[in-house]
Amino acid sequence: MSRRSCLAFAMPAVAACALVLTSCGEQTPGGLPAGGQPQSSAGSTPAAAVTEEPVTARDDVSDADDPIVVKIGEREFATNMAIYRKYDGAKGGPLDLQAPVAPAEELVGGKKQDYVSGTIYWSPETGAQIVRGQIHVAYLDNGGPTGQLGWPVGDEIIEGAAVFSDFQRGQIRLENQAIRIIEHTS
């Protein structure tokens, strides 16, 4: 078989692959198109208007616990979509975590993933939240998610000279280089 006939035989297959790939649109991890909304097929009428809003702190989306593998260089790290979204959203900002150091780990009631500069904790009730530095050390010293404070409910906040993180049953504050744990009473 000559080179010319091999090329002629392969061209329809290459064209079909190119057509399939271009019709998929831009993709993000987890298989959703850019923007996180499924694409509607041509000629179909959407059931409701789709508005693009940022993902809330709770990650109230159905794929939050869907597995995903993040590849950094030659290393691969298993995680879930909610943790990935939080990690990706923090890149380049004040809560940038740098690279993952381990895959996501199952915990009672959720997951966590460690990074060079902190940890993301995720539970279905509280969503994905970043805990870092001295606040993270104090959180672990108090039992982490299964301890007296429970799961984090928000990322750290800077308020004047204080930095704090809120949890289900309390708050950890770093102020004047001193850590203070405030438990909520019920």
Predicted local confidence at residue 2, as pLDDT: 52
Q: What confidence tier does 19 reach under pLDDT thresholds 50, 70, 90?
A: very low
Q: Is the pLDDT assigned to residue 52 strictly greater than 50? A: no
- CB of 138 closer than 8 Å to CB of 131: no
Q: Of 57, 83, 79, which is closest to residue 155 (Cα–Cα)?
A: 57
Which residues are 130's β-sheet partners? 120
- DSSP H helices, 24-164, are 81-90, 133-141
At 58-102, the pLDDT tens digits run: 445 688 999 999 998 999 999 999 999 999 999 999 999 999 999
Q: pLDDT (tens digit, 9 = 90+) per residue, 108-156?
A: 999 999 999 999 999 999 999 999 999 999 999 999 999 999 999 999 9
Q: How far, in Å, CA of 105 to CA of 90, rounded?
A: 20
Highest mean pLDDT out of 21-25, 30-34, 120-124 = 120-124
Model pTM score: 0.68
Number of Cβ atoms within 10 Å of the Cβ of 179:
14
How does strand 178-183 pair with strand 170-175? antiparallel
Confidence of residue 185 (pLDDT cuts 50, 70, 90): confident
